[in-house]
Amino acid sequence: MTKKIIIKLVLLITLPLVSHSQIKVLVWNDEFEYSGLPASDKWGYDVGGDGWGNNELQYYTEARAENARVENGNLIIEARKEQYGSNEYTSARLVTRHKGDWLYGRVEAYAKLPSGTGTWPALWMLPTNWVYGSWPKSGEIDIMEYVGFDPSIVHGSIHTEAYNHVIGTQKTATYSVPDAETAFHLYAMEWTPEKIDIFVDDIKYFTFSNEHKDYTTWPFDQLFHLILNIAVGGNWGGMQGVDPNIWPQKMYVDYVRVYQYIQSDQIKISGPNFLSPNQMGVKFSIQNIANATFSWEIPSDATIVSGQGTNSIVVNWGANAGNVSVQITHPQAGGTYTLEVKTSVVPTGDRFSLLDIKNNGLMGWAGLNTSPNTITLSQADTLLRVDYTITKPEDFPYFTYTFPNPVDMSTLTVLNVAMKTYNESNSVVLRADPFDTDGRLADVSPVFKFFPVAPNEEFHFYSFDFNNKWGSDTPEYGKQVNYKQIAGIRFYVNYGIYGKAASDSLWISNIILSNILLKNIPLKYKNVTIFPNPASNFIKINFEQLYQNALRIQIIDISGKQIKDILLDNSMEIPISDLPQGFYTVRLTSKSSLIAIGKFIKC
C-alpha cells in the first residue's frame, strides 16, 4: 500500500547512522496481508477479566473475531461494550510470547489509535521468563500508551524495580500527536545493551540509559515479547470515567516489524547441506536485510517454486549436487553468498561398495588420539589397518568413516564389513553405527556388534540388517535416523562392557551395502599354493596333493563377487591380465564341494 512505501522512505532518511559493520535485519514481522484471525504462528492471547492489576473493566477473549481480526490489510483490535461473564466489556490482548521473543533490536508498529474517554490502547513489552522476579523486578517497556481522556498525547515509559509508577519514580516522556486517532503513525523502540530509545515517526523523544548498576535499574538483558491491546477503564485509563456511548472502539495496525543488527560476517544462507535426489519443497533463506534486493541462482536441474526476489526461496531439487547462491544488493551487505549442497548417492543393484582405499586412501577416516586410548589408522595397500591401545574401554573409544557423499540406505539396508584379525589379545570387539547428516546414530538394539571376531588371517563378512532398526537415542533421545542420508559409520572398538585393557590390530577390506546378509567364506578347507604371487598376467595352482581328477576354480573379488569359473587340470595357467589390481580369493571345488582355498594379489 502507498502508505507503507512512504514510511520506508522516511526510515531511510531519518534513522540514526549505524556502523558499516552492522547490518539491519528484519527478524520478525506481520504485514497483515491476509484475512481472518491473527496468524497463530505469530500471535497468542492473554485471556481473562480479573482487572489485570489495574482494575480494568474488560474481559480479554481468545481467538474471537469480534475482538481481534485481520481485514483489508490491517489488524483490528476492537473493544466492545457487551456482557461477557461478569465483565461489561470485551477486548483482546495479543502477545508474541514464545512465538517472538527478543533481546535487543528495533520494534515498530504503524497504527491508528481508538478515541474516547475510557480507552487505553498500548504497544508494549514484558519479559518472557521473568528472570528477576515478578513485576516490576523483571522490567516493562511501554513503546506507546494512549489514554482517551487526554487526546493527542502519546506516552513512552520504562518500569523497573527502582523506577516505576507505584513508588513514583517512573521514567517516562510524552509526545504530541494531534491526529493519533485519525491517522496512522509509526511507533517504535530501539534497544541496545546501553539504552532504550522511543520514537514517534522516527523522532526520538525518550531515552532510558543503562546505569550499569544491577537488575533493579536495568533488567533489560533478557528476552522480552510484544503485546498489543486495548484496555477499558482502569487505574489510569479510567481516571475520568468510561464514556458508555463511544463503543465499539478499534485500534488499526498496518504492520508490526522487529529488526536486529548483525555483523556483516554473520550473513549466510540457511538450508540443508544434504538432499536426496529430486527432493521437493526445500527451503533456503538468508537474513532479511532491510532495504536489500535478492536474486537467487540454483543448479540447472532444480526449480525455484517460490520466493525469487525475496530473502527466502522454496526449491524442487534435481538429481545432482550443486551450489545455491544469492546476489544481494545493499550498501554494506552487498555481494554473492553461496551454500554448497551435496546430493545423496542412491545405490543401484543388489550390492554397493562404500570403500575404495586404493584410490581414496584414508580420505574420510578419522582415528582417535585421546589419552589414555589410542586408535591409529593406516593404509596397507588396498586395506585399512586399525591399530589400537585401549586402557579405558568405558570411554567407548571409536574411529569414524565419513562417506564422500551421503548414501541412501532405504533399499540396501544391510551393512556388511569385510574384516580380518589375528586377535592375539582376544580383545577385538567392534560395533558399527551408521549416522545421518544430522549426526543421529543408529544405536539399535540388539546392537550391531562384531563379537567375537574370528581370530585368523582370513577376511569374513560381519553383517547387520538395519531395516526398521533406525531408532536413535544419540545425540537426542527417541529420534529416528534419516536413512536416506547416511553420512558415515562410527566404529566402536574394544569398548564398554565388552572391552578390556589391550592392544591389537585388525584390517578392513570392504564395506558393502546389500539387500541380504552376505555369507562368510567357510572355514573348513585346505590351503593351496598360488604362484607367482603377486602376479600380473597368469597364476598357477599347486594341487598335486589334492585330487587328480578335474577341478573347478572360482575367482572371487574382494566384494564377494565371482569373476571367473573355470574347469582346469594340473598344468593349466589361469589368465588374470584382464583383472583389476587388488586382492582375490581362489576357491577349488570338486563335485560342487569346496575342498581348498587360496589368495593372491593382482599387481
Domain holding 358: CATH number?
A: 2.60.120.430
Judged against a pLDDT cut of 90, whether residue 600 lies above it is answered with: no
Alpha-carbon separation of residue 391 from 92, 371, 399, 423, 540 (angstroms): 65, 9, 16, 17, 46
Query: How far apart are the C-alpha atoms of 71 and 84, rounded to whole Å?
Result: 24
> Which pLDDT band, with edges at 50, 70 and 90, does 38 fall under?
very high
The verdict on residue 520 lying in a domain is no
Query: Which is it for strands 105-112 and 185-191: parallel, antiparallel or unpaired?
Result: antiparallel
475: preceding bond cis by omega (within 30 degrees): yes
How many CB atoms neighbour CB 14 within 10 A? Answer: 12
- Boundary of a domain, candidates 326, 343, 360: 343
* 358-375 exposure pattern, b = at least 16 Cβ within 10 A, e = fewer: eeeeeebbebbeeeebbb
Q: Are 483 and 470 in contact (CB under 8 A)?
A: yes
Q: What is the pLDDT of residue 102?
A: 98
Q: What is the pLDDT of residue 486?
A: 96
In 361-501, where do the E strands start and end?
A: 365-366, 368-370, 373-380, 383-390, 398-407, 414-421, 430-436, 449-450, 456-465, 471-472, 479-480, 486-493
Query: How far apart are the C-alpha atoms of 52 and 60, rounded to whole Å?
Result: 10
Percent share of the chain, pLDDT over 70: 89
- As a whole number, mean pLDDT of residues 190-202 equals 98
Q: Are 535 and 603 in contact (CB under 8 A)?
A: yes
- Cell triple for 281: 519443497
Note whether 427 and 554 are same-domain residues: no
Which residues are within 8 A (CB) of 486 and not within 5 positions of it... i.e. 6 or more apart? 403, 406, 407, 408, 409, 434, 435, 436
Note whether 258 and 272 are same-domain residues: no
Note whether 221 and 297 are same-domain residues: no
The verdict on residue 1 lying in a domain is no
Note whether 100 and 218 are same-domain residues: yes
Question: How high does pLDDT run on average in the chain?
Answer: 90
CATH code for position 338 = 2.60.40.10
3-state secondary structure 86-153: CEEEEECEEECCCCCEECCEEEEEEEECCCCCCEEEEEEEEECCCCCCCCCCCCEEEEEECCCCCCCE
- Boundary of a domain, candidates 235, 262, 289: 262
Active-site residue flag, 145 = yes
The verdict on residue 3 lying in a domain is no
Q: What is the pLDDT of residue 14?
A: 32
The verdict on residue 242 lying in a domain is yes
Of residues 123 and 7, more confidence is placed in 123
Q: What is the pLDDT of residue 453?
A: 73
Residue appearing with cell numbers 498496518: 254
Note whether 294 and 154 are same-domain residues: no
Note whether 121 and 177 are same-domain residues: yes
Which residues are within 8 A (CB) of 381 and not within 5 positions of it... i.e. 6 or more apart? 357, 358, 601
142-152 per-position pLDDT tens digit = 999 999 999 99
Q: What is the pLDDT of residue 161?
A: 98
Note whether 335 and 355 are same-domain residues: no
Tell me which of 44-58, 450-464, 504-518, 581-595 is least confident: 581-595
* Best CA proximity match to 283, nearest among 245, 237, 339: 339
Q: Are 198 and 173 in contact (CB under 8 A)?
A: yes
3-state secondary structure 178-204: CCCCCCCEEEEEEECCCEEEEEECCEE
Active-site residue among 78, 140, 161, 190? Answer: 140
Q: What is the pLDDT of residue 461?
A: 87
345-402 per-position pLDDT tens digit = 999 899 999 999 988 999 999 999 888 999 999 998 889 999 999 999 999 999 999 9
Active-site residue among 56, 78, 145, 181? Answer: 145
Residue appearing with cell numbers 515509559: 157
Of residues 15 and 39, more confidence is placed in 39
Active-site residue flag, 78 = no
Q: What is the pLDDT of residue 8?
A: 32
493-528 per-position pLDDT tens digit = 999 888 999 999 999 999 999 999 887 644 445 667
> Which pLDDT band, with edges at 50, 70 and 90, does 9 fall under?
very low
The verdict on residue 280 lying in a domain is yes
227-274 per-position pLDDT tens digit = 999 999 999 999 999 999 999 999 999 999 999 999 999 999 999 999
CATH code for position 220 = 2.60.120.200
Does an H or E element contain 79, and which? strand 74-84
> Which pLDDT band, with edges at 50, 70 and 90, does 588 fall under?
confident
Q: Are 577 and 538 in contact (CB under 8 A)?
A: yes
Q: What is the pLDDT of residue 562?
A: 73
Note whether 256 and 167 are same-domain residues: yes
Please give the tally of structural domains in the chain: 4
Which residues are within 8 A (CB) of 352 and not within 5 positions of it... i.e. 6 or more apart? 407, 412, 512, 513, 514
The verdict on residue 13 lying in a domain is no
pTM for the whole thing?
0.70
Query: How far apart are the C-alpha atoms of 486 and 345, rounded to whole Å?
Result: 9
**Which amino acid is residue 543, in one-letter code?**
F
The verdict on residue 9 lying in a domain is no
Note whether 317 and 358 are same-domain residues: no
Query: How far apart are the C-alpha atoms of 38 and 32, rounded to whole Å?
Result: 8
How many CB atoms neighbour CB 562 within 10 A? Answer: 11
- As a whole number, mean pLDDT of residues 555-565 equals 75
How many CB atoms neighbour CB 432 within 10 A? Answer: 23
Q: What is the pLDDT of residue 547?
A: 47
Note whether 273 and 365 are same-domain residues: no
Of residues 360 and 547, more confidence is placed in 360
Note whether 306 and 355 are same-domain residues: no
Tell me which of 118-127, 174-183, 462-471, 540-549 is least confident: 540-549
Judged against a pLDDT cut of 80, whether residue 561 lies above it is answered with: no
- Boundary of a domain, candidates 484, 514, 544: 514
The verdict on residue 14 lying in a domain is no
Query: How far apart are the C-alpha atoms of 100 and 519, rounded to whole Å?
Result: 57
Q: What is the pLDDT of residue 32?
A: 98
> Which pLDDT band, with edges at 50, 70 and 90, does 452 fall under?
low
CB-side neighbour CA atoms (13 Å) of 249? 31
Percent share of the chain, pLDDT over 90: 75
Domain hosting 131: range is 27-262
* Best CA proximity match to 58, nearest among 89, 80, 93: 89
Note whether 427 and 358 are same-domain residues: yes
- As a whole number, mean pLDDT of residues 320-345 equals 96
Which residues are within 8 A (CB) of 444 and not within 5 positions of it... i.e. 6 or more apart? 433, 466, 469, 470, 471
Q: What is the pLDDT of residue 3?
A: 34
DSSP 395: G
